[in-house]
Amino acid sequence: MSEARLVVLSNRLPIVLTTDSKKKWKIGPGSGGLVTALGPVLRDRGGIWIGWLGAGLKELPEDTTREALLQEGASETGYALKPVDLTREEVRDYYFGFSNEILWPLFHDLPSLCNFDPSFWPAYVSANRRFAEAVLDNTCEEDFVWVHDYQLILVAAELKRLGAKRRTGFFLHIPFPPLDVFIRLPWRFQVLDALLRYDLVGFQTERDRRNFIDCVRSLTSGVRVVGHGHVCKLLTPERELRVGSFPISIDFQEFAGLAKRPGVIGQTKLIRDNLPNRKLLFGVDRLDYTKGIPNRLKAFVNALERYPELRRRITLIQVVVPSRESISEYKALKQDIHRLVGEINGRYTQVGWTPIIYICGSLSRPELVSYYQACEIALITPLKDGMNLVAKEYCASRVKYDGVLILSEFAGAASSLQGGALLVNPYDVEGVADAIHRAANMDSDEKRRRMKLMRHSVRKNDIFRWVSSFLKAGVTDDLAQFPFMEFFVPRRKQEADSSFFHQSPLQH
Ligand code: GDG
């Protein structure tokens, strides 16, 4: 019998493709918190990451083979990378179609933006089958397969259809909608049934988990919920699974460390020196209608109108990173934002003061942290968000315990940051404007007290703790059967030390 490994599945492989100084193509690891946290666990025991390569690798020069690049990438990351091939049509209908024109808007409570095109469903099924086949080809029965996000809900069901037995966990990075929204999905029974095929299903918040259990209770029969706490059991007539809430987080030390680097401090000073004598507000979002950018701009204008003393005293720096531009809603949103920024700046700009500095493009991670540090107010107002990592990154980067976080109550992050953040309803333009005014006038003692609470919470509940708590719930009591769990605790300590999951593995 071979040793059980950790196998991670996500829509895309966590890699970036670059060229070096000699124009040679190279694959390197991606930079997200998930990659940082899972990398060491995967490396430790020969783990595997399975995902789609994206469109980029299609344009490789002839002398570079994909296999050679992946091999190189694997030696760079320290774990195996297994690609899933998708046809152009599958990408269009499974990824842009079913995933991003149905599940994404529906799960963010925006059913009016859904395009329930029936041709998307078969593509979603067939793409999920491709991923399941890749699992079958690259893993064995002992492995633990951790599936990520809404693009891959059907993988466990497809594995069963293929006759494969695997221990599986699923984590949903986006919210799970309430029953009256979920019920509009034409494939509601298939999607719910597919989720019930995993051994563990994880959500970002208690609210998401409650919504899911409500849907299961209403749309299936004979289900019992057993247990309390953040992980409970669901007993259906056919099977038993665990359902939990696991709020995702960030690598706190990475952001706190970057904030203290001389280069980042220098860049922070440059931003401040160029925008003197004013409070800086900061927003950074993927271009997405869920992020509430137009509402935020309207709230900013409302603050300038109702509190004229803020004019010349505050500037909003808004970064928007383009995404999913082939979908019409995203194109329209981009135009809407450009128009609003133009109108606001056209109306209020005076010599020496531009109300909004708008950056359409992405920043490097150190640049991002410079902006987090330079801006004393973060304005994060999604209409709905699974978690929102920007809110946590902002807190981790405020190493001087100053700075005010204005946060939407509809972001998953609100539940853990509510003691310190100014919570707002993003649809309430005047309420957000009042929060901007309050933040601009907050005294340093209150800022410090609030930031201390938030930094404490993010430091304690970092991405490493998130990985360990999900995996612990996934492997249940069989720690000894999963040697990769030794990454979190040496085997000899497993029985004696019941508190090890409350520590970051970095401490070991
Ligand atoms: C999904 C869920 C959930 C953004 N701009 C730049 C940049 N970023 C980085 C941020 C942050 C990440 O992108 C965005 O994460 P969010 O959590 O805010 O949002 P989604 O992309 O929608 O992620 C979300 C998340 O999954 C995790 O479960 O929280 O709710 O929707 O890390 O720093 N990074 C750099 N330059 C940029 O310009 N370097």
User: What is residue 497's predicted lDDT score, i.e. its pLDDT?
Assistant: 43
pLDDT surpasses 70 at 94: yes
What are residue 18's DSSP bridge partners? Answer: 26
Of 16, 287, 389, the one to substitute when testing ligand 1's pocket (max ligand atoms within 8 A of C-beta) is 389
Q: Establish whether residue 416 lines the binding site of ligand 1, counting it when its CB lies within 6 angstroms of any ligand atom.
A: no
For 42, residues 6+ apart whose C-beta sits below 8 A from its C-beta are 6, 8, 48, 49, 77, 78, 79, 484
pLDDT surpasses 60 at 499: no
pLDDT band of residue 14 (cuts 50, 70, 90) is confident
pLDDT surpasses 60 at 56: no
Q: Establish whether residue 271 lines the binding site of ligand 1, counting it when its CB lies within 6 angstroms of any ligand atom.
A: no
pLDDT surpasses 70 at 61: no
pLDDT surpasses 80 at 319: yes
Q: Which of 143, 288, 385, 434 is catalytic?
A: 385
Q: Cα–Cα distance between 179 and 170 in angstroms, integer?
A: 20
Greater model confidence, 44 or 408? 408
3-state secondary structure of 174: coil
Q: Establish whether residue 368 lines the binding site of ligand 1, counting it when its CB lies within 6 angstroms of any ligand atom.
A: yes
User: What is residue 60's predicted lDDT score, i.e. its pLDDT?
Assistant: 61
Q: Cα–Cα distance between 245 and 224 in angstroms, integer?
A: 18
pTM for the full predicted model = 0.93
User: What is residue 507's predicted lDDT score, i.e. its pLDDT?
Assistant: 29
pLDDT band of residue 71 (cuts 50, 70, 90) is confident
User: What is residue 329's predicted lDDT score, i.e. its pLDDT?
Assistant: 84
Tell me the two tokens of residue 237: 């007539």
230 is catalytic: no
The DSSP output letter for 2 is P
Q: What Cα–Cα distance (Å) separates residue 420 from each residue in 55, 368, 458?
A: 42, 22, 11
- Are domains 6-249+462-494 and 253-460 of this chain identical in fold? yes
User: What is residue 504's predicted lDDT score, i.e. its pLDDT?
Assistant: 33
In the numeric block, the tokens 């998401």 are attached to: 208
The average confidence (pLDDT) of the chain is 90
Whose CA is closest to atom 23 on ligand 1? Answer: 388
Residue type, 334: K
pLDDT band of residue 287 (cuts 50, 70, 90) is very high
Going from N- to C-terminal start, the domains of the chain cover 6-249+462-494, 253-460
Using only the alpha carbons of the chain, give its radius of gyration. Answer: 23
Q: How far is the CA of 284 from the centre of ligand 1 (A)?
A: 9
CATH number of 6-249+462-494: 3.40.50.2000
User: What is residue 76's predicted lDDT score, i.e. its pLDDT?
Assistant: 79
173 is catalytic: yes
Q: Cα–Cα distance between 419 and 398 in angstroms, integer?
A: 17
Percentage of the chain with pLDDT > 70? 93
Structure confidence by residue, pLDDT tens digits, 167-191 = 999 999 999 999 999 999 999 999 9
DSSP secondary structure of 469-490: HHHHHHHTT-GGG-GGGGGTS-
Q: Establish whether residue 243 lines the binding site of ligand 1, counting it when its CB lies within 6 angstroms of any ligand atom.
A: no
What mean pLDDT comes out for the span 408-436? 97
User: What is residue 84's predicted lDDT score, i.e. its pLDDT?
Assistant: 94
pLDDT band of residue 505 (cuts 50, 70, 90) is very low
Q: Establish whether residue 359 lines the binding site of ligand 1, counting it when its CB lies within 6 angstroms of any ligand atom.
A: no
Structure confidence by residue, pLDDT tens digits, 244-282 = 999 999 999 999 999 999 999 999 999 999 999 999 999
Q: What Cα–Cα distance (Å) separates residue 9 from each residue in 75, 84, 457?
A: 19, 10, 29
Q: How far is the CA of 160 from the centre of ligand 1 (A)?
A: 33
Whose CA is closest to atom 26 on ligand 1? Answer: 173
What mean pLDDT comes out for the span 137-163? 96
Whose CA is closest to atom 34 on ligand 1? Answer: 365
What are residue 203's DSSP bridge partners? Answer: 245
CATH number of 253-460: 3.40.50.2000
DSSP secondary structure of 358-397: EEES---HHHHHHHHHH-SEEEE--SSBS--HHHHHHHHH
Structure confidence by residue, pLDDT tens digits, 440-474 = 999 999 999 999 999 999 999 999 899 989 999 98
For 197, residues 6+ apart whose C-beta sits below 8 A from its C-beta are 156, 157, 160, 168, 239
Q: Which of 44, 143, 173, 208 is catalytic?
A: 173
